[in-house]
Structure 1
Amino acid sequence: MSKAIFRPFDRYTFGEDICFLTGVPAVLQQTVFPQWLLKQFDLEDKPFKMMDERIATYGDIKVPVSAAAISAIHDLDEEIEKAFNEGFETVRSLPELKLFQWITKQVYGIIHWEVRAGIRQQRAIGEDFNFSQSIAHKFGNLHIMLQSLTREVEFEGVLPWSIKVFPVNNSPETFGYRDEMNTLVFSLRMKDFGVIACLQDNGESLNYHREVLEKVEGKTLHPIQLEELSARFFYSAYLFNRLPEYTILPTEEAIYIESMPLRISSRAVYDNWQVKTYGQVLEAFWKTWGFSLFEIIKNPEQPMSFLENENGEFINAEEIQLPVQ
């Protein structure tokens, strides 16, 4: 007989005393962002914008955890801390599943915290908590994949995610974290590397951005180039018009997850790229350098880029000259 899968979105099982990962009784509340990260970059009291525009701090965001979850998360965090502090080459050699688990632990942990807050707010005014069924379906599948931390999970066929690690000339104090919950896309910039991940696209982002990814392969990027790449992935995640489906089979030995085909429709997998909307995304990612939307899309046929020149050739990081801030 197979062990039942914990599915918190089926009945909105988000109690303060129920482990966010396993569904068994929790023994404590633990910060979503690991302590080593909070201490190393002094993040504990720094602001973190939530989905509804409320401002929390990195240290505020906590989830209830069981003993089994604490142990699994500790082991994962320890491995990731070592790799991240050693830098790009070690991060690049990590198994993709480890990166997926660590990224998803943060992203889903924030989702769990947000849902609990939403349930409390709705109860306070005597209303039921309502949630988009498609988003709940997506988040539920992500949670099942995250259970690979405490259960044997086998991913068959196409992997559900896209993850890329890049060498970046960051300043030593850099910590740049971004995520977008609705589209499940993530980026991180620190030490001498950057990571971009789409957590539920079945690898399509890597195909969609193949041309630019081939140009940057093996190149060390300037921080503004990594941010431009991130903007492209974040915007394309918004254009991604499929709701991925998975065959999920629990057995006594493991949970087997297989991605269903995305291309069964004649409709393109991505909606049309709109330069102005992309420019707005890029403006937010380039906020540090102060470029305005007007500057970015002054030529709508060829928006400003620090990745490619007018001829479509890669721009080496050493050639980039930026205004003094």
Structure 2
Amino acid sequence: MISQTLFNPFKDLIFDEHFCFLTGNLTTETITVFPQWLMDHFKFGAERIEMMDKAKPYNYEDLKLPCSPEVKKAFQELDLQVQAAYKKGFKGMASLDQELLFQWTGRMVYGLLYYEMIYERDRLLRQGEDFELSPTLRERFGHFHLMLQSLIEPISFVGKKPWSIAVFPLKYSADIFSYRDDAINLMFSFGVNGFGFIACLQDNGVIGEKQRDILDKMEGHVLHPIQFEELFARFHYSDYILQYKPKYKIETQDNGIAIEVETAGKQPLFGFWDEDIFAQLLSNYWQVYGIEKKDILQFQKPPLSFLENPYTKDFIKPESIDLPF
């Protein structure tokens, strides 16, 4: 049950430029989906972004969310905190509270989701059809939106966190900014020279737990970009085969709202890991290196990995990888 007191755009599917995306208050102000300092620093504001609607081109800087002055100020303050941490590289980012990273990442993922909702609504409208979302998606996106309101509302997370966020050192050529998102599945990855992070924003931490073994082995190493791509592919495919619906106990208390993760039962959380499907996904991420699916899956050989030696399961040292950054 989502709290009735706070705005939930997924209840009545309200995505309107006159209403703040986070509070539902009337507003004429906007905020960019991607933080302005990030677009300025990596000079990608004027670059094109591919949305679900291939017919309508957007530049990153054109993607904007309606927001109240209060929300705009809160995000500006959050941006200053993240920017200050960013300047300190991996150590700075790793020292940030995960809730701040959730809010900071959540703004971008929600912004992209908002545009996908508007596109789908307008497409159906042109066909004379009503815009509907399945109850499952309404609930999941509604929970995500409620958690994002922790930026401005007294919302606390009790016990286990509703997300998996991994921050790690990463080596890239200077001035490269790499990011991937899957707004519908509420996933995001971000990599620059110095650090990378991967976020599953609504998995209740189970994907992070599934990948715990490799995350532990990586500790203390500066990842090569090809390892970063493989790591995100593992998170992404784990999300694809996840068979567990995150549930929450949401209580309105005198001093705010408490969100508690309801732990899963004994059933297996993940479906069968199909190496063939995973290799196809991984080849999409590795195509910049010219690595194709047939290179990943070879007859009578274990699947190709740049994270683990397939025979010993030892972590592959990044400096031993002879590929460009």
Q: TM-score over 0.5 for the alignment?
A: yes
- Report the counterpart of residue 192 of structure 1 in structure 2: 194
- Report the counterpart of residue 19 of structure 1 in structure 2: 20
Q: Deviations over 1:237-274 (max 9, x none)?
A: 11111121112223342111111122x2x431011100
1:42 paired with 2:43, answer yes
- Report the counterpart of residue 253 of structure 1 in structure 2: 255
Mean Cα deviation higher: 80-89 or 247-256: 247-256
- Report the counterpart of residue 286 of structure 1 in structure 2: 286
1:299 CA drift (Å): 4.5
1:50 CA drift (Å): 1.9
Mean Cα deviation higher: 12-21 or 116-125: 116-125
Give the secondary-structure state (helix, strand or coil) at the position aligned to 1:174: coil
Residues 84, 191 of structure 1: 8 Å contact kept: no
The residue type equivalent to 2:279 in the other structure is G
Counterparts of 1:162-173 in structure 2 under 5 Å? Answer: 162-173=164-175
Q: Deviations over 1:258-315 (max 9, x none)?
A: 11122x2x43101110001111111111122110111011147621111112321111
Indicate how the Cα distance of structure 1 residues 301 and 181 shifts in structure 2: closer, same or farther if over 3 A, else same: farther
The residue type equivalent to 1:27 in the other structure is T
Partners of 1:280 and 1:190 lie apart in 2 by 25
1:75 CA drift (Å): 0.4
Partners of 1:83 and 1:245 lie apart in 2 by 32
Partners of 1:52 and 1:260 lie apart in 2 by 36
RMSD: 1.8
Q: Could you list the structure 1 runs, at least 4 aligned residues long, displaced by more than 3 angstroms after superposition.
A: 51-55
Indicate how the Cα distance of structure 1 residues 56 and 146 shifts in structure 2: closer, same or farther if over 3 A, else same: same
The residue type equivalent to 1:114 in the other structure is E
Counterparts of 1:305-320 in structure 2 under 5 Å? Answer: 305-309=305-309, 310-320=311-321
Give the secondary-structure state (helix, strand or coil) at the position aligned to 1:164: strand
1:49 CA drift (Å): 2.1
Residue among 101, 106, 109 paired with 2:108: 106
Residues 113, 184 of structure 2: 8 Å contact kept: no
- Report the counterpart of residue 236 of structure 1 in structure 2: 238
The residue type equivalent to 1:99 in the other structure is L
Counterparts of 1:64-75 in structure 2 under 5 Å? Answer: 64-75=66-77
Q: TM-score, normalised by structure 1?
A: 0.94
1:30 CA drift (Å): 2.1
Give the secondary-structure state (helix, strand or coil) at the position aligned to 1:273: coil
- Report the counterpart of residue 269 of structure 2 in structure 1: 269
Structure 2 residue ranges without an equivalent (≥5): none
Residues 3, 252 of structure 1: 8 Å contact kept: no
Indicate how the Cα distance of structure 1 residues 53 and 134 shifts in structure 2: closer, same or farther if over 3 A, else same: farther
**Aligned residue pair count:** 321
Residues 30, 72 of structure 2: 8 Å contact kept: no
Partners of 1:300 and 1:51 lie apart in 2 by 39
Q: TM-score, normalised by structure 2?
A: 0.94
- Report the counterpart of residue 6 of structure 2 in structure 1: 5
1:3 CA drift (Å): 8.0
Partners of 1:154 and 1:7 lie apart in 2 by 18
- Report the counterpart of residue 83 of structure 2 in structure 1: 81
Partners of 1:37 and 1:119 lie apart in 2 by 30
Partners of 1:236 and 1:300 lie apart in 2 by 25
Give the secondary-structure state (helix, strand or coil) at the position aligned to 2:87: helix
Mean Cα deviation higher: 295-304 or 132-141: 295-304
Give the secondary-structure state (helix, strand or coil) at the position aligned to 1:129: coil
Partners of 2:4 and 2:132 lie apart in 1 by 29
The residue type equivalent to 1:272 in the other structure is F
Aligned identity (percent) is: 39
